[in-house]
Structure 1
Amino acid sequence: MQKSKKLEIFNDPIYGFINIPNDLIFNLIAEPSFQRLRRISQMGLSYLVYPGAHHTRFHHAIGCMHLMQQAIQVLKIKEVDISPEEETGLLCAILLHDIGHGPFSHAMEHSIVAGVSHEHISLLYMEMLNKKFNGSLTTAIAIFKREHPKKFLNQLVSSQLDVDRLDYLKRDSFYTGVAEGNINSERLLTMLNVVDNHLVLEEKGIYSVEKFLMARRFMYWQVYLHKTGIVAEQLLISVLKRAKELLAKGEILQCSSALLFFMSHKVTKANFSDDDLILFAQLDDVDVLAAIKAWQNSKDVVLSMLCTMIINRKLLHIKIKNKPIDEQRLHKQRTTLMDTLNLTAHEANYFVFSGALENQAYSQENQPIHILKSNGKITDVVQASDQLNLKMLSKKIRKYYMCYPKLSV
């Protein structure tokens, strides 16, 4: 029998055909823990705002790998020393950088496994896969942990101008239809260089990086921090919180065995075992959505209401202010809700709450973007730019929100 030929390319709507460079990458993509990313939405519940935003972490990871291939090619042309081992390490690190995301990506981070970031879980997966592939991911792990002696390798995977951001801004812009986020990632990659072991951007690319930072600001306010998306995300978090609370009291809830395990057991960073990691790989958006659909019929009025709001998109009302929310306003909304639906104060807190939003497109303190000027000098992008608004982008903007049911007055 003739063996079937391996899939060697992906047809991506953003970049066109993407090549799989070697067998190791092919085998990593074929891993069940990576294939699971096909069932993890890139933007959580943002499709409730932007109907096209149904792309997945799988899309994003493959796109990042493609951009990393381009970045490596550009740097090699400019005679930057990157060994074959380091090249493979870069591709593996960026391919697997989000493998630890749970259902609905950032929306449920810390909800299923409290206090454990997706970056930490990604590292655990990489270490497990490194054993399976006989140490082939050792360099990738060093780069992912930002411990590789060649600092620019680390910066390509994680910095303020990394391959991750170059893909997700362009990809999220495409799938949401928000044109302001459409950056010229190819132009930015072409302008990359390395000076004194650090990643820099040549001065010719200054206008592209200005647009990149502006696009990041627009995407956060218009998409990632969209008020409707914030409400949906908070409701999703509340659903898991209420379900855990009911399970702790001995109530029985219908859901997948993997989801039930993480809701019933306190898994922390300290006791996250290999068995837990294997079980976590069975979790995806399907588990949570199926549970929410079933819990609409729960006898618990709070859980039932929360789930019905998400399924039917009958969300809470939200108001965003520049100043912290007055506690008296929250108290009034809670009291009205308690009287209307005969809820306790604790139950009312699931529907009336406040929070804060932060947006900082660029930080001059945290791994700044360095511009290589034509005279050979290195300067921060804010100093190199003639756009005064870049200074404003480096300031952290903080806004406050309150959520409450529309039946309140």
Structure 2
Amino acid sequence: MHLMQEAIDVLKSKNIEITKEEEEATLIAILLHDIGHGPFSHTLEYTLIESINHEKITDFFMQELNRQFNNQLNLALQIYKNTYHKRFLHQLISGQLDVDRLDYLTRDSFFTGVSEGVIGTERIIKMLNVSNNELVADVKALYSIEKFIISRRLMYWQVYLHKTVHAIETMIQSIFKRVKVLIESKTDIFLPPSLALFLQNTISESDFVNNPSTLKAYADLDDRDIWFCIKTWRTHPDFILSELCKRLYNRNLFKIEVSDNDFDESYIRRKKSECVLHAHLNQMEVDYFVIHGKMENTAYNKALAPIRILDKNNKLHTLETLSDHLNHRTLSENVNKFFICYPKELSTSV
């Protein structure tokens, strides 16, 4: 919210018209734009609620707050949903050069001690501008923006998609995959009321719209609910669930291998066979312990509303046409890496 206020002040100082109402609405929108995230953020997205993403749930929260505050969030909703004619206000909230990315890269870099995430936030904000109601940056910001995109790529591979982080996320997803199977088979399992609502039922958008208790139950969920369940499920009679929970709780994490090329099917089958023998599992059960998939990272998507640079002659250019760095595949195109997770004792088995 602080960076958004700075960005608005910079634009107003450049004679970009932003009314008091628009300023307030934009600040409200940035404050609430991620309110729809559930426990463990993206890790359990589409797990607790299979068909609804956090952006849509954010919309539900904002609609409910708008109702409670007698439609005072109408403008904030328009800006958030990109239906307001001043598109640059939405682009400050959600875009390839939005204040959210400027904020979390610097913050996460500080708290993880990964210096590659340090970017010239103040410099970039001071160079923001508007052309044809679109957010642009003055050409003086070119190198700072290049550094921002390079930092974003490095932070994803070193922090957000770090091997240990991905192993933990994969184990959590495997746990909840098993929980859903047990629920479907009518097996008794401890669940807090709010969590039970989403795991035992197929929740649709109409449930959020027509039943306020659904939104309240979602708001009641947090990371502590998930951790308490994992702690409790360590003693569940189902071997798969209890084993996964014990491993995660005791930080006996899966080993993860990451490769630029996909793993050979014979290697995946061998790891599954080792796990079957080691843990006395059948071929269906082993999929909870040997997991193969793909990680993706796009530092800058030039096909999706590219960052535009305003030169000294007020002519617009897309960032990639001015930047040598962004001609490289690793920065301007989707990069895939492949992974396989399995119990670490299998790495020493014969």
CA displacement at 1:391 relative to structure 2 = 6.0
Q: Aligned residue for 1:366?
A: 304
Q: 1:116 aligns with which of 52, 63, 70?
A: 52
Structure 1 residues 144-293: aligned runs within 5 Å: 144-272=80-208, 273-293=211-231
Flag structure 2 segments of 5+ consecutive residues without an equivalent: none
Report the 3-state secondary structure (helix = DSSP H, G, I; strand = E; otherwise coil) of the residue aligned with 1:80: coil
Structure 1 residues 96-107: aligned runs within 5 Å: 96-107=32-43
Residues 347, 143 of structure 1: alpha-carbon distance in 2 compared, 3 angstrom cutoff: same
Q: 1:298 aligns with which of 236, 240, 249?
A: 236
**Is 1:141 equivalent to 2:77 in the alignment?**
yes
Flag structure 1 segments of 5+ consecutive residues without an equivalent: 1-64
Q: d(CA) in 2 for partners of 1:70 and 1:254?
A: 47
Q: d(CA) in 2 for partners of 1:400 and 1:270?
A: 37
Q: Structure 1 stretch 271-280 or stretch 101-110: which is displaced more?
A: 271-280
Q: Normalising to structure 2: TM-score of the pair?
A: 0.95
Q: Deviations over 1:133-170 (max 9, x none)?
A: 11111111111111111111111111100011111111
Q: Contact 1:80 / 1:194 at 8 angstroms: preserved in 2?
A: yes
Residues 354, 165 of structure 1: alpha-carbon distance in 2 compared, 3 angstrom cutoff: same
Q: d(CA) in 2 for partners of 1:372 and 1:390?
A: 22
What is the letter of the counterpart of residue 295 of structure 2?
Answer: L
Q: Contact 1:143 / 1:154 at 8 angstroms: preserved in 2?
A: yes
Q: Aligned residue for 1:332?
A: 270
Q: Deviations over 1:330-377 (max 9, x none)?
A: 211112211222212111100012101111111111011001111211
Q: Normalising to structure 1: TM-score of the pair?
A: 0.82
Q: Structure 1 stretch 333-342 or stretch 192-201: which is displaced more?
A: 333-342
Q: Contact 2:320 / 2:327 at 8 angstroms: preserved in 1?
A: no
CA displacement at 1:388 relative to structure 2 = 5.9
**Is 1:352 equivalent to 2:300 in the alignment?**
no
Report the 3-state secondary structure (helix = DSSP H, G, I; strand = E; otherwise coil) of the residue aligned with 2:226: helix
Q: Deviations over 1:220-251 (max 9, x none)?
A: 11011111111100111111111121122122
What is the letter of the counterpart of residue 351 of structure 1?
Answer: F
Residues 195, 388 of structure 1: alpha-carbon distance in 2 compared, 3 angstrom cutoff: closer
CA displacement at 1:270 relative to structure 2 = 4.6
Q: d(CA) in 1 for partners of 2:295 and 2:107?
A: 23
Q: d(CA) in 2 for partners of 1:329 and 1:234?
A: 19
Q: Compute the RMSD of aligned alpha carbons.
A: 1.3
What is the letter of the counterpart of residue 115 of structure 2?
Answer: A
Q: Aligned residue for 1:376?
A: 314
Q: d(CA) in 2 for partners of 1:278 and 1:387?
A: 46
> Which structure carries more helix by proportion?
2
Please list every run of at least 4 consecutive aligned residues from structure 1 whose deviation after the TM superposition is greater than 3 angstroms.
269-273, 386-392
Report the 3-state secondary structure (helix = DSSP H, G, I; strand = E; otherwise coil) of the residue aligned with 2:344: coil
What is the letter of the counterpart of residue 311 of structure 2?
Answer: K
Q: d(CA) in 2 for partners of 1:93 and 1:388?
A: 31
What is the letter of the counterpart of residue 186 of structure 2?
Answer: G
- Aligned residue pairs, count: 345
Identity of aligned residues (%): 44
